Amino acid sequence: MRLRVYRKLKQVGEIFTSDQGVCFSYDPGFIASNGYPISLSMPLSTDVYPQSKALPFFDGLLPEGNQRLELSDVLRTPPTSTMKLLAAMAGDCVGDLVIMDEEMDIDRIMASSGYAPLTGEELGGLLRPDSRDRTRFLAARRLSLAGAQPKIGLFHKDGTWYKTVGLFPTTHIIKPVSRFDPSILVNEFLIMRLGGLCNLEVPDIDVIHQMGYAGLAIKRFDRIVSDDGVERIGQEDLCQALSVMPAEKYQESGGPELRDIFTIVRLHTSTPLQDLRKLLRLALFNYLTGNCDAHAKNFSLLRDLNEGALALAPAYDLLCTTFYGDDLSRSMAMSIGKHSRIDRISDEDFAIFADEVGIGLTVVKKEMASLRNGIASSLDDALAQAADELPAFTRDASSLRDHLLQELQQRSGILN
């Protein structure tokens, strides 16, 4: 089986299976054009990249966990078959690539591509917490959205939501209420808005309501919308950049550490000083807000649309996981110093962390104080926004605010 990989309708390379497993090779014409590589893990080369390099990147474009199982069931494809899932799903995925079976004509498909408005009933059906329509919707439109949370992609213009036809790109990711814990919706909304109030770079996030159901509408930062249409921007998460499989995204599973991410940002972004500060503030914000699920797939790099230069992507999937008590681990996805359990992290651990990532401890202390003050002073504003947008979740939002204040108090002595 062979799949063609495209960027801006031009073939970049091919994915194929061999006795080495899933492999990738660049198209000679693409190499000659001096284009930028699809990943830091696979620089431009005439060599064939073996499964150890190709599979972590391409499997990282696909959904995980239950979302992958449901998708496999709808497609009648084994969940372990990365190639078949890519062939069925990777028409619009994270970043700027389109992946298609070699027998498909991309120009012919593009000629019949476009957008079709969603009816209110269709949108409401997609927002239902227990909806199986979402999986069928994704499969029908070849939308592959990485991660374990349920989500769909839509195009938005002038107040109207559209579904894609063919290979046209989406502009927003829609996350419905979780059927396992509805409070996750208001949790992510409040923490993302709080991050913005604390001057973290976060995407626009709003709430949509339809037929009594709610969902988060997150503007995609790997898309640029203009009068000429929507353009895809290159993006890869840090597991992809480091050739780590999604199943190994947590440090305790052998995945990346914080220092690995800082090293990538230092060595490969075009404005390392600016991006290192952004990364530091994001890591400290996760610590202060109790986000123990900030694994390597929740950090990404973006390509400049024209030059291909890399920058740290805006923060996403921010959540206070300690809000759920013993139901979720209080061990951080990536340790700070010698400890991963958030309650055991000490001044000594932050000193080790500062040394490992090559940032002065004085700078770490300064940013910690700034964020601690920013969170405390912005919480009520974030709560008010959550209560206004999600009135049905006001009690959950208030409980989350109280929990965050308690967490801040518990960690008030660290680097103070």
Query: What are the catalytic residues?
Result: 293
Cα–Cα dist 141/164, whole Å: 7
| 199 close to 193: Cβ distance less than 8 angstroms | no
| 92 close to 174: Cβ distance less than 8 angstroms | no
